[in-house]
Amino acid sequence: MRAISVLLGLALLAGCSTQAANKPGPQSTTNKSATDRQSPSGKASVSSQGSTASSLDAHRAGKAPAVGPLREVRFDFDSYDLNSEARSILQSNAAWLKANPSANVEIEGHCDERGATDYNLALGAKRARAAMDYLIALGIAPARIKVTSYGEELPVCKDATESCYEKNRRDRLVDIRARPSS
């Protein structure tokens, strides 16, 4: 009887997943929130011509994310509300997207390290969604926008200071362009 209990316990443990499996790393292939959108083909692709790599691509390459034509927006602690500065930046980004109709945008939601991993992934998704909703209200087609949450996993600053936390509470907007099908 004890052997059966041990085997059942091991079977239950084997079926459990861990949060570490969801963290980005060299072997990770995706880290998307439930609010992600995919291209019509179902493939996520980024062209190196005229586009900026995602934060995850830069992380995998051991580099800082490249700066592209779209500006990032910042958020207050534990908030996904767009303040007046964020709306102004998104208006400029919408104007750029309208002037560049072949460009699509990936909105990456990021958080500081405070809070649980799951909570920060959800908050990052809400931040990206808030920016997406505002861009749509400004006339950008929803099909041109993809949202991803990285939560606290890809910080731009790793110091435990308020100044650093402010830099990590952001939406990074990345110019993405679909590759031709091969």
How far apart CA 51 and CA 41 sit, in angstroms, is 19
Between 36 and 71, whose confidence is greater?
71
CATH number at residue 103: 3.30.1330.60
Number of domains forming the structure of the chain: 1
> Does residue 96 lie in a domain region?
yes
Establish if 1 belongs to a structural domain. no
Q: Does residue 131 contact residue 72 with C-beta atoms inside 8 Å?
A: no
Which region, left, alpha or beta, applies to residue 50 given φ > 0 means left and ψ of -120 to 50 means alpha? left
Least confident of 33-42, 68-77, 101-110, 148-157: 33-42
Which of the given ranges, 15-29, 54-68, 156-170, has the highest pLDDT on average? 156-170
Please say whether the beta carbons of 83 and 158 come within 8 A: no
Note whether residue 148 is domain-resident.
yes
Domain that holds residue 146: 31-38+49-61+68-176
- Angstrom CA distances, 147 to 8, 9, 68, 154, 182, stand at 40, 39, 17, 15, 25
Please spell the DSSP secondary structure of 32-77, one letter per residue. Answer: --TT----TTS-----SSS----HHHHHHTTSPPPP-SSPPEE--T
| Burial class of residue 87, CB neighbours in 10 A (0-12, 13-18, 19+) | middle
Residue 43, domain member (yes or no): no
Give a yes or no: residue 5 inside a domain.
no
For 135, the 3-state DSSP assignment is helix
Assess if residue 11 is contained within a domain: no
**Is residue 3 assigned to a domain?**
no
| Low-confidence winner among 10-24, 61-75, 95-109 (lowest mean pLDDT) | 10-24
Tens of pLDDT, residues 40-68: 333 333 333 456 678 888 888 888 888 88
Say what the pLDDT of residue 175 is: 94
Domain-located, residue 18 = no
Residue 109: predicted pLDDT: 98
Least confident of 28-32, 84-88, 144-148: 28-32
- Residue 104, Cβ density class (10 Å: 0-12 exposed, 13-18 middle, ≥19 buried): buried
